[in-house]
Amino acid sequence: MTLDHDPQEPMDDVDEQLLADLARLYAAVDPVPEGLALRSLFTATLAGLESEVLELVDAPAALATVRGEAPVEARTITFTSESATIMITLSPDDGGVRVDGWVAPAGELQVELRSPGEVRRTTTDHDGRFVLTRTGRGPASLVVRRPDGTAVSSPVIEI
């Protein structure tokens, strides 16, 4: 097999075979982590949102027992910025995760839970509370939109 040809020429069968061999080599030696491309697109999409970014303040994990049953994981996470604070509690919910949240300052705001391949939307009540039930597990970010069109978004967390 000779590799003496002009690099300006279109790819031929030899080029295709060489690339296929390289792909097999890398797949065996250093495979791409599952879901990497989707997570990368998700992160790039979040970075492109024009919103104030919230800072992760507190994310302790706790185990709680409900009515003598096996322990159930529940987490409370707080995000803050100069203009808003969001606290969410994550708890198991019929094979998914229930997200109970509170936004301050309160008001009727649009809330989005963005995860790869899905955006769940809801509205807070006048006290700033919201609930999203049976959300999927995995990386996600919250975006809260105010009536004036401005928004705040959380960093990506694992739900």
pLDDT digits (tens, 9 = 90+) for 41-65: 666 665 555 566 677 775 554 433 3
29: pLDDT strictly greater than 80: yes
> Comparing C-alpha atoms, which of 131, 152, 155, 121 is closest to residue 42?
155
| Cα–Cα separations (whole angstroms), residue 155 to 6, 7, 14, 32, 75 | 48, 44, 46, 24, 16
Which domains occur in the chain, in start order? 11-48 (no CATH), 51-158 (2.60.40)
Residue 89, beta-bridge partner list: 76, 100
Q: Which two tokens stand for residue 133?
A: 């039930």
pLDDT category, 86, cuts 50, 70, 90?
A: very high
Question: Stretch 64-79: mean pLDDT, rounded?
Answer: 58
Global pTM?
Answer: 0.61
